[in-house]
Chains A and B, each alone.
Chain A
Amino acid sequence: MIDLEEFRTQTRAWLQANCPEEMRQPERTLADHCWGGRRWKFQSDAQRLWMDRMVAKGWTAPKWPICYGGDGLSREQAAVLAEEMKRIGARAPVANFGHWFLGPALLRFGSAAIKQKFLPPICRGETRWCEGYSEPGAGSDLAGLQTRAEDKGDYFLVNGQKIWTSFADRADWIFCLVRTDPQAPKHQGISLLLFDMDSPGVTTRPIKLISGESDFCQTFFDNVRVPKDQLVGELNGGWTVAKYLLTHERDEIGDEPPGLLRDKALGPLACEFVGRRGSQLADPVLRDAIARLDVDTLAFKAYQEKLRAETELGEGLGAQSALLKYYGTELNKRRYELMMDAAGTAGLEWDSAQTHGGQYAREWLRTKGNSIEGGTSEVMLGIVAKRILGLPDATRGASA
């Protein structure tokens, strides 16, 4: 393995030479993001070029093994790559639910055949994945899901309905939790299937949110045939995979999302709207609230760093990811509330050019979903209480 500083020097030089100028600006909205997939229309030549170059380098999933299209980087090397990309403001070349969640789960639970079939197209940006988890009757109680997959000998027949499937209308494939044994206790009759969204019997319908956006869909399965070799892990062992996958998701949601405030200090931004008295923000109450938020955010980041330093590659953060998810999302909500306080009536504009089409209000409203999607704050606190603190279940407590 080459020396880390040597790796940094090489990486810096390569990024300098290969990252197009246009791709060196942070993503301002989700629309700037490169999702990839067979329906993807590149917004610019630079976006395509950047993706192709990173694909060739194995850096769209740098920690994944080289045989699957990654570059087999160590955690330290991957951290260096991330730092060097951040240093020049380089965007992610391509990223979707395949890179974030499915890939790590396949690496851990998938058979050799499944890994060989699905990981390389993810690395190449050819498949855009969506996640079929929640159902109308299974939100916080995810394990109560009802979508059925019947064993028909050489295929599964899937029937049911999912909701909050992010970008399902634009995805190529879905990783989907289904019930394969209706008789078993609810956690033990679930499996994870992969299937093409173009399969006959799959339909999607976008849901319009309070932010005016339609990131989420309802997804319907009507006699969808799924080949048997598209089952991940053990039959009826899907809950283990799902939980592992969720820890990655929670970790991700706990990170700062793209948008107006990404990597931007709220205090100086508030001064632009509110003005200063002397050198200080003119509204002392807002100033105090921002300082509190900034302090809490620093503490959150310090803890996140500490945990990551202590966690080996491939190991999930386990129950700690519930804590990070809870804090990260609640902090982000607070941040956007304070941004709206600071922006005043300017923040209310819904489609003015000055606000890039109401970006303040829309992003503010979108953050309200952060503490619901991927497990609500209340569910997260329950996980922390029971799995980290060892507090008793209500039923066990009564009999103890």
Chain B
Amino acid sequence: MTLTDEHRLLQETSVRLFADKGAVSHLRALRDQHDPRGYDEPLWAAMAASGLTGLLVPEAYGGTAIGWVGAGLVAREIGRNLSLTPFLSTAVLGATALGTGGSEAQKKIWLPRIASGEGLVALAVDEGPHHRPENLRLAVSQGTVTGEKTFVLDGHVADLLLVAAYDAGATALYAVDAHAMGVTVERTILVDSCNAARIRFDHVPAAPLADGRAALDAALRAGRAVLAAELVGVAAEVFRRTVDYLKQRKQFGQLIGSLQGLQHRAAQLYGETVMADALAFAALDACDRAAPNAEALVYAAKAKAARVALQAGQEAIQMHGGIGMTDDFDIGFFIKRARGAGASLGEVNYCADRFAALGGY
């Protein structure tokens, strides 16, 4: 896969934007101030101003439709900087679901609002501690939904909820007004300071998307691919910081980076991070090309990226020693995001299982 000029420009924009306006210090501030919205509002506004919120929105609805590799380039910077934004929930999951399976009226209302950054969307799928979209129980009957969803990313600030539910034996996706009567939202702040919500529905009107099955499948696939890119950003940055530390820290009268035991682990980890990165972008590229193996590549990429990010986060703490365990030092933030993003839309084991099934074993 090679990046186009458009991609390169987007990459440069993202690198600069997140380094300037979304650095790791913002995450700490939002966490410590118990911010009621829980995400970086100035950063989100800046992303919207630079067109990053409409990468997956068709031009007819105010976006740029750059595609999944483009979204991955942004997500990788989000991962590097641990930025807190509704990019995944709104610009990826929301835009893809509505763009793929929304009715013309739904697209007309929501896609321009997503592209402009004004409207926030959340996808409600999970019903238990594991992402199992093929085993949902929540049902829609006579146009209303009743029951509970959990781990709804950015569900506490969303204007529109896209709810996966059963109807007449098939899973579909429903648009639910987040402010409607009968919707109860409990914000759950996560270990990585990302936000999710537990949401109860009590006879709430639910409008089906025109093609809910396709919308859900496309959104989940896009979400996993973009999460893989975010995770490789997490891994690359925590690894970079760790290698820097190995070149500074002295023990036994020598730089610890000269010790073979650490050098070999660092070299292995380097290999893992660059290969996870290559796979993530190969998967995103396959999505852009609608390649027949896109689905398998996405599962593989998500499994690999999640495992590598976690390993990089762990090695970072170990190689930093005691200081790595302190809250004052940023390095511990990375393993938290690795866990959170790793569990979103299917943990390593789930992705590996789906990947094996697609491989015929």
Do A and B actually bind? Answer: yes
Give the B-binding residues of A (Cβ under 8 A). Answer: 265, 267-268, 270-271, 279-281, 287-288, 290-292, 294-296, 298-300, 302-303, 305-306, 309, 323, 326-327, 378, 380-382, 384-386, 388-394, 396-398, 400
Is B260 positioned at the interface, with any CB of A under 8 Å from its CB?
Answer: yes
Q: Given contacts A300-B275, A303-B275, A326-B271, are A391 and B361 in contact (CB under 8 A)?
A: no
A-B contact pairs, 25 of them (CB 8 A): A271-B360, A281-B361, A288-B356, A291-B355, A291-B356, A295-B352, A298-B279, A298-B282, A298-B300, A300-B275, A302-B278, A303-B278, A305-B282, A309-B2, A323-B274, A378-B264, A382-B263, A389-B267, A390-B247, A391-B263, A392-B247, A393-B258, A394-B254, A394-B258, A400-B255
A380: chain B residues at CB < 8 Å are 267
Interface flags for B242-284 (1: CB within 8 Å of A; 0: not) read 0100110000011101111001101110110011111101100
When chains A and B are docked, how far (Å) is the Cα of A302 from the Cα of B255?
34
A305: chain B residues at CB < 8 Å are 1, 278, 282
When chains A and B are docked, how far (Å) is the Cα of A327 from the Cα of B349?
23
Per DSSP, chain B at the interface is helix
Closest to A303 in B: B278
Closest to A395 in B: B258
Question: Of the candidates B243, B260, B278, B304, which one forms a contact with A295 in the assembled complex, judged by CB atoms under 8 Å apart?
Answer: B304
When chains A and B are docked, how far (Å) is the Cα of A394 from the Cα of B278?
32
Interface flags for B113-151 (1: CB within 8 Å of A; 0: not) read 000000000000000000000000000000000000000
When chains A and B are docked, how far (Å) is the Cα of A295 from the Cα of B307?
11
* Max count, chain B CB within 10 A of own CB: residue among A306, A382, A386: A306
When chains A and B are docked, how far (Å) is the Cα of A300 from the Cα of B267?
15
Q: Given contacts A281-B356, A281-B361, A389-B267, are A299 and B275 in contact (CB under 8 A)?
A: yes
* Distance in Å: Cβ of B73 to nearest Cβ of chain A: 15
- A294 lies within 8 A of B300 (CB): yes
When chains A and B are docked, how far (Å) is the Cα of A287 from the Cα of B281?
26
When chains A and B are docked, how far (Å) is the Cα of A306 from the Cα of B275?
10
Question: Of the candidates B243, B270, B279, B353, which one forms a contact with A299 in the assembled complex, judged by CB atoms under 8 Å apart?
Answer: B279
* Distance in Å: Cβ of B284 to nearest Cβ of chain A: 11
| Extra 7 A-B pairs, beta carbons < 8 Å, given A384-B270, A398-B253 | A279-B357, A280-B357, A288-B349, A299-B301, A302-B279, A384-B267, A385-B266
Question: Of the candidates A306, A309, A389, which one forms a contact with B270 in the assembled complex, judged by CB atoms under 8 Å apart?
Answer: A389
A394: chain B residues at CB < 8 Å are 254, 258-260
Q: Which 4 A-B pairs have the closest CB atoms?
A: A397-B258, A267-B361, A385-B263, A384-B267
Interface flags for B281-314 (1: CB within 8 Å of A; 0: not) read 1100000000000000100110110000000000
Closest to B355 in A: A291
- B257 lies within 8 A of A392 (CB): yes
Closest to A378 in B: B264
* Distance in Å: Cβ of A176 to nearest Cβ of chain B: 31
Closest to A324 in B: B271
- B258 lies within 8 A of A280 (CB): no
Is B321 positioned at the interface, with any CB of A under 8 Å from its CB?
Answer: no
Is B359 positioned at the interface, with any CB of A under 8 Å from its CB?
Answer: yes
When chains A and B are docked, how far (Å) is the Cα of A60 from the Cα of B277?
35
* Distance in Å: Cβ of A174 to nearest Cβ of chain B: 33
B264: chain A residues at CB < 8 Å are 378, 381-382, 385
* Distance in Å: Cβ of B229 to nearest Cβ of chain A: 13
B2: chain A residues at CB < 8 Å are 309
A291: chain B residues at CB < 8 Å are 303, 352-353, 355-356, 359
Q: Given contacts A280-B357, A381-B263, are A391 and B274 in contact (CB under 8 A)?
A: no
- A280 lies within 8 A of B267 (CB): no
When chains A and B are docked, how far (Å) is the Cα of A168 from the Cα of B301?
43
Closest to A286 in B: B361
Q: Given contacts A295-B352, A302-B275, A327-B275, are A388 and B359 in contact (CB under 8 A)?
A: no
* Max count, chain A CB within 10 A of own CB: residue among B257, B267, B277, B279: B267
- B254 lies within 8 A of A268 (CB): no
* Distance in Å: Cβ of A280 to nearest Cβ of chain B: 7
- A290 lies within 8 A of B258 (CB): no
Closest to A292 in B: B352
When chains A and B are docked, how far (Å) is the Cα of A62 from the Cα of B353?
42
Closest to A269 in B: B361
* Distance in Å: Cβ of A378 to nearest Cβ of chain B: 7
A265: chain B residues at CB < 8 Å are 359-361
Closest to B257 in A: A391
When chains A and B are docked, how far (Å) is the Cα of A247 from the Cα of B361?
36
- B267 lies within 8 A of A385 (CB): yes
A389: chain B residues at CB < 8 Å are 243, 263, 266-267, 270
- B257 lies within 8 A of A382 (CB): no
Closest to B351 in A: A295
